[in-house]
């Protein structure tokens, strides 16, 4: 039986904080069943790249948050493959 695994990040725009930032949420899909959790990373919607599921730009904040997202994705894949 073939197994599927995917990790997707998205901005939860309807959960904005007073400062205008919204949480980045991770969605894990395994064999058609999904679960999601808050990554505890917050950004404004104008710096979110919907197509790439990443923060736009090369500034320190974008690099830091994209690094956290990469670590989360890598950790989830490692746990899935074990």
Q: What is the pTM of this model?
A: 0.91
pLDDT band at 3 (very low <50, low <70, confident <90, very high): confident
Q: What is the pLDDT of residues 10-62, one digit of tens each?
A: 999 999 999 999 999 999 999 999 999 999 999 999 999 999 999 999 999 99
Domain ranges of the chain: 5-81
Does 2 score more than 80 pLDDT? Answer: no
pLDDT band at 67 (very low <50, low <70, confident <90, very high): very high
Identify which of 50, 60, 64 has the alpha carbon closest to the alpha carbon of residue 10: 50
Does 1 score more than 70 pLDDT? Answer: no
Max CA distance (Å), the chain: 47
């Amino acid at each position: 039986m073939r197994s599927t695994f995917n990790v997707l990040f998205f901005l939860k725009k309807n959960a904005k904080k007073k400062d205008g930032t919204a949480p980045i949420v991770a969605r894990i899909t395994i064999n058609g069943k999904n679960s999601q959790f808050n990554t505890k990373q917050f950004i404004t919607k104008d710096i979110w790249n919907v197509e790439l599921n990443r923060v736009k730009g090369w500034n320190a904040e974008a690099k830091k948050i994209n690094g956290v997202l990469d670590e989360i994705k890598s950790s989830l894949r490692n746990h899935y493959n074990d």
